[in-house]
Amino acid sequence: MGSSLSIVYVLTNSAMPGLVKIGYTSQDDANSRIAQLYTTGVPVPFTIEYACKDLLCS
């Protein structure tokens, strides 16, 4: 079983009140992942509420 350092994040979006997106990415920066999530179907960008590096096992 391998392991790697990943970023765990919690996001909110003012266009979707009451909803929270929790996820993780192996990218070096949570902002890179958030930029990927800001597509034509999302009216405003996500806001990072929390992010931390964590050791995730695959």
Query: CB neighbours of 32 closer than 8 A, spacing ≥ 6?
Result: 25
Provide the whole-model pTM. 0.81
- The domains of the chain are located at 3-57
What's residue 17's pLDDT? Answer: 95
Report the distance separating Cα 3 and Cα 53, nearest Å.
Answer: 13
CA-closest candidate to residue 4, choices 57, 52, 48 = 57
What's residue 14's pLDDT? Answer: 96
Report the distance separating Cα 33 and Cα 54, nearest Å.
Answer: 16
Per residue of the chain (58 residues), give pLDDT as tens.
566 889 999 999 999 999 999 999 988 888 888 888 888 888 999 999 999 998 875 5
Report the distance separating Cα 13 and Cα 17, nearest Å.
Answer: 7
What's residue 13's pLDDT? Answer: 94
